[in-house]
């Protein structure tokens, strides 16, 4: 039987909301300097190497998925979030257009519910926390049940960071024993929900009756044309694929290679640690990675390629970093390897004309992951432009590892975040990287200006005065 919401759980959420509102009142008149100081405190205490490494590894141990050695490097994302926060005003007048007579004032969104995914229980809370507190909001975190311990520990650190600068610790609260009914009730009571997680929870957020920012599924695909630097493309693809054992939606999953460089590219990927599976091994992977209902099997998600191979019934050398399967002409719902993999495996395709590459991209995103992201390794601006015009994605990385770049990096201009909107394609309200701008209300003040009314002859052009 489905779990019913208990009266004690209703009372718990109601009390948390009350505490959050009181915490917001305590900082409603804080200056930009005070808010930035709070952001810096949260940033330091959550992202310093000692604390973040401990909690990142705790999240891997608690969930049973992810790369224990690699995940601590995600702390640098918090550095980027802090950088972006300190460069933007979030209180009082934040924008002014004298010519149009417009002045824009920032106001808090209110009480925010933040749904934390199993894959980022230590990262998403401080990202949300820095953005939300700098915009004078309060957050109630709902962790994934598998990683509730990690998320609660990180929230405790954030609460202590608040106290360091005289801010109320109840700006951040966390549900200790999460459940679907508790989270659903929470979402119905708050002012805004940030749903960073699986499709069912995102859909639940959108049906809560309150505003929500959700994220969409990924199926990140990369086009590599004949102008690419093959060694760099292989290196970056490797970096993107193995980051946290491919747990992120941005991890390169489909590699679409110009036929003239296909063999050379496979060699370069092999030198980077790739293992090209034969047809028998591919069939074994297919049987182990998806169950009879087509769902991904837990033991093959975000794991090392050695574990992935072992779970499938074969062995690979200990020095291999990721698996590759050739998947030419095998795209569609019935072809599982053309979907999101969420592990250390990529599918390979080749094309002759660039129009063929665009058709492969179209088919891949018709299958899964529409709205999320794609990338290209090319020095041909016409190819870059052509892909950007047709790809149904919210972000496209040029000559960058997607899992390191989509959510912002120190070498591109994308806003830093851990939540990626996928637009209408992905069932989301925004195409943007979700940041502090999405956690504010705005008051537009309009002053009168000189009349801006074009003559009708100019306005209607050649149709002016015409009759039907």
Instruction: Write the pLDDT tens digit of every residue in 311-352.
Output: 999 999 999 999 999 999 999 999 999 999 999 999 999 999
Q: What is the average pLDDT value for the chain, to the nearest integer?
A: 96
> What is the rounded distance in angstroms from the CA atom of residue 284 to the CA atom of residue 231?
30
Lowest-confidence region among 46-60, 62-76, 191-205, 246-260? 191-205
Residues of the chain with pLDDT > 90, as a percent, come to 94
State the pLDDT confidence band at 202, using cuts at 50, 70 and 90. confident
Instruction: Report residue 180 as tokens.
Output: 């679907």
Instruction: Report residue 118 as tokens.
Output: 């199993």
State the pLDDT confidence band at 2, using cuts at 50, 70 and 90. low
State the pLDDT confidence band at 1, using cuts at 50, 70 and 90. very low
Q: What digits encode the pLDDT tens for the residues 82-126?
A: 999 999 999 999 999 999 999 999 999 999 999 999 999 999 999
pLDDT at 13 over 60: yes
**Environment class of 454 (CB within 10 Å of its CB; exposed 0-12, middle 13-18, buried 19+):** exposed
Residues of the chain with pLDDT > 70, as a percent, come to 99
Instruction: Report residue 276 as tokens.
Output: 């090209």
Intervals of CATH 3.40.309.10 along the chain: 221-405
Q: Residue 199: what pLDDT?
A: 72
Lowest-confidence region among 182-191, 206-215, 259-268? 206-215
- Which among 106, 166, 95 has a CA at the least distance from the CA of 136? 106
Class of the CATH domain delimited by 7-215+431-445: alpha beta
- Which among 88, 75, 70, 2 has a CA at the least distance from the CA of 44? 75
Give whole-number Cα distances, 405 to 59, 195, 204, 395, in Å: 23, 21, 29, 10
Intervals of CATH 3.40.605.10 along the chain: 7-215+431-445
Element (H, E) at 193: strand 192-195
Catalytic residues: 249
* Architecture of the 221-405 domain: 3-Layer(aba) Sandwich (3.40)
> What is the rounded distance in angstroms from the CA atom of residue 256 to the CA atom of residue 235?
16
Instruction: Report residue 185 as tokens.
Output: 């009730």
């Amino acid at each position: 039987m489905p779990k019913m919401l208990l009266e004690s759980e209703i009372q718990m959420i109601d009390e948390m909301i009350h505490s959050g509102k009181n915490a917001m009142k305590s900082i409603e008149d804080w200056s930009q300097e005070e808010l930035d100081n709070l952001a810096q405190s949260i940033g330091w205490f959550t992202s310093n190497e000692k604390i973040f490494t401990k909690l990142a590894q705790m999240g891997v141990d608690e969930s049973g998925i992810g790369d224990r050695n690699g995940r601590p490097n995600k702390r640098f994302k918090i550095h980027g979030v802090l950088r972006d926060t300190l460069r933007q005003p979030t209180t009082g007048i934040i924008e002014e257009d004298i010519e149009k007579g417009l002045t824009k004032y920032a106001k808090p969104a209110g009480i925010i519910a933040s749904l934390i995914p199993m894959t980022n229980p230590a990262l998403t809370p401080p990202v949300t926390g820095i953005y939300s507190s700098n915009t004078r909001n309060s957050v109630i975190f709902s962790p994934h049940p598998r990683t509730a311990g990690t998320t609660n520990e990180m929230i405790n650190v954030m609460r202590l960071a608040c106290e360091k600068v005289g801010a109320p610790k109840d700006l951040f609260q966390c549900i200790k024993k999460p459940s679907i009914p508790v989270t659903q009730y929470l979402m119905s009571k708050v002012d805004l929900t940030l749903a960073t997680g699986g499709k069912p929870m995102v859909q639940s957020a959108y049906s809560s009756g309150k505003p929500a920012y959700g994220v969409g599924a990924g199926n990140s695909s990369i086009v590599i044309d004949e102008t690419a630097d093959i060694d760099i493309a292989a290196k970056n693809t490797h970096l993107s694929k193995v980051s946290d054992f491919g747990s992120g939606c941005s991890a390169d999953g489909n590699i679409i290679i110009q036929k003239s460089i296909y063999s050379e590219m496979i060699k370069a990927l092999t030198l980077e640690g790739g293992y090209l599976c034969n047809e028998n091994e591919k069939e074994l992977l297919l049987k182990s990675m998806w169950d009879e209902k087509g769902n991904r099997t837990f033991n093959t998600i975000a794991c090392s390629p050695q574990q992935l191979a072992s779970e499938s019934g074969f062995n690979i050398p200990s020095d291999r970093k990721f698996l590759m399967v050739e998947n030419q002409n095998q795209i569609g719902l019935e072809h599982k390897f053309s979907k999101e993999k969420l592990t250390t495996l990529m599918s390979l395709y080749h094309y002759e004309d660039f129009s063929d590459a665009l058709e492969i991209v179209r088919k891949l995103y018709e299958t899964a992951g529409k709205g999320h992201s794609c990338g290209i390794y090319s020095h041909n601006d016409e190819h870059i432009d052509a892909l950007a015009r047709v790809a149904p994605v919210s972000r496209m990385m040029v000559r960058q590892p997607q899992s390191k770049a989509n959510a912002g990096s120190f070498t591109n201009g994308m806003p830093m975040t851990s939540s990626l909107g996928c637009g209408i394609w992905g069932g989301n309200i925004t195409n943007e990287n979700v940041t502090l701008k999405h956690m504010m209300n705005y008051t537009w003040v309009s002053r009168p200006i000189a009349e801006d009314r074009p003559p009708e002859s100019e306005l209607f052009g050649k149709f002016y005065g015409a009759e039907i």
